[in-house]
């Protein structure tokens, strides 16, 4: 088989798989079903959505971090779906398998896209769980759309209440980090993703750490699947968005989980600050935990989420 023939065959199979996903309308069975589909955002951007678990189970909706996709939540989603929960996660616009629009790569649009998913699937009494950038997305969703569909919310290593330094937030991450990320994204984003994953994200740069090549490769693969423009714009969205006012509108039970050795989002200015702003929020700190606790501390995180959601 020639290289051209193999390429043609692979393309045909890929397009066929896409068509099957978008046209599938089979009703879920009583057993825990696994389905994938696309939902259109208000501007027509297709959003890839995972919808796992029994359709009549309590609903948990996950929002992922940068530059990842809904795949980054697979451990938590499978764990909860196997215990009777309906778990939903979408790839953010410009990320994963979702559309790659030129415009709209900002936090307000991210929040509205999350709203489009909740509305399209008519999800109610939802527990929203946001990691990193996804935590900001969840906060902004509540700020813009309220909690009519929301029962609980969890912020996991979130960028809230604000990541970057500003005149009103001098304790934030220095602007030089923002400039460096954008320059690296334009210069060689493939290397940027490898450097982030092999270094501070999972804490593999700490003395005595045992790097996992699998986790590094997974981070890199998810990042490279995303749009260069979308992920570049997203740096501004996650670094400079201010969520102080959004967090004040959270009026449902809230859980904040953060690692004490998060090198990207220091716990004092993010996790602890978020817990202070959200009335009645419970704060759980993972001693020595890095930023990527969804993987490095997945077993503990799964149990903490299960306990919080099940109360």
Active site residue 241: no
Tokens standing for residue 206: 């700490």
d(CA 50, CA 60): 12
Beta strands 150-156 and 126-131 are parallel
Active site residue 295: no
* DSSP secondary structure of 252-298: S-EEEEEETT-SSS-TTTTHHHHHHHSTT-EEEEETT--S-HHHHTH
User: Which residue out of 291, 295, 297, 304 is catalytically annotated?
Assistant: 291
Active site residue 291: yes
User: Which residue out of 51, 91, 246, 262 is catalytically annotated?
Assistant: 262
Tokens standing for residue 282: 């419970």
d(CA 66, CA 146): 24
Q: Which helix (H) or strand (E) holds 238?
A: helix 228-240
Q: Which helix (H) or strand (E) holds 17?
A: helix 3-23
**CB-based contact 32:54 (threshold 8 Å):** yes
E strands, 15-125, where?
33-40, 46-53, 59-63, 86-90
d(CA 128, CA 203): 26
d(CA 8, CA 2): 10
Sign of CA dihedral 212, 218, 219, 221: positive
Tokens standing for residue 63: 């929002």
User: Which residue out of 63, 132, 234, 241 is catalytically annotated?
Assistant: 132
Phi, psi of 81 (to 5 degrees): -65, -40
- For 184, other C-beta atoms within 10 Å of its C-beta total 16
Closest by CA to 169, choosing from 110, 239, 234, is 239
Q: Supply the residues annotated as catalytic.
A: 132, 262, 291
């Amino acid at each position: 088989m020639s290289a051209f023939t193999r390429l043609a065959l692979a393309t045909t199979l890929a397009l066929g798989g896409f068509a099957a996903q978008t046209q599938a309308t089979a009703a879920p069975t009583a057993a825990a079903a696994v389905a994938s589909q696309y939902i259109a955002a208000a501007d027509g951007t297709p959003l890839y959505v995972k919808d796992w678990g029994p359709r009549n189970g309590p609903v948990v909706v996950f929002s992922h971090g940068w530059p990842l996709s809904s795949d980054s939540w697979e451990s938590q989603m499978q764990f909860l779906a196997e215990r009777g929960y309906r778990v939903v996660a979408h790839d953010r616009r410009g990320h994963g398998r979702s559309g790659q629009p030129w415009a709209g790569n900002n936090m307000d649009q991210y929040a509205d896209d999350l709203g489009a998913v909740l509305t399209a699937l008519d999800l109610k009494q939802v527990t929203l769980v946001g990691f990193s950038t996804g935590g900001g997305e969840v906060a902004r969703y509540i700020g813009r759309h309220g909690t009519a569909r929301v029962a609980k919310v969890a912020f996991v290593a979130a960028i809230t209440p604000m990541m970057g330094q500003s005149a009103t937030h001098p304790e934030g991450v220095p602007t030089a980090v923002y400039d460096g990320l954008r320059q690296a994204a334009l210069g060689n984003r493939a290397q940027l993703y490898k450097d982030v994953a092999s270094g501070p994200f999972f804490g593999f740069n700490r003395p005595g750490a045992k790097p996992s090549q699998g986790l590094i490769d997974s981070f890199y693969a998810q990042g490279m699947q995303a749009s260069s423009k979308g992920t570049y714009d997203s740096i501004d969205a996650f670094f400079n968005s201010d969520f102080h006012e959004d967090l004040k509108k959270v009026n449902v039970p809230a859980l904040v989980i953060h690692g004490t050795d998060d090198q990207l989002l220091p716990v004092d200015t993010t996790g602890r600050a978020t817990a202070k702003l959200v009335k009645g929020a419970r704060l759980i700190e993972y001693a020595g935990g890095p930023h990527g606790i969804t993987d490095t501390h997945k077993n503990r995180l799964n149990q903490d989420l299960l306990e919080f959601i099940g109360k």
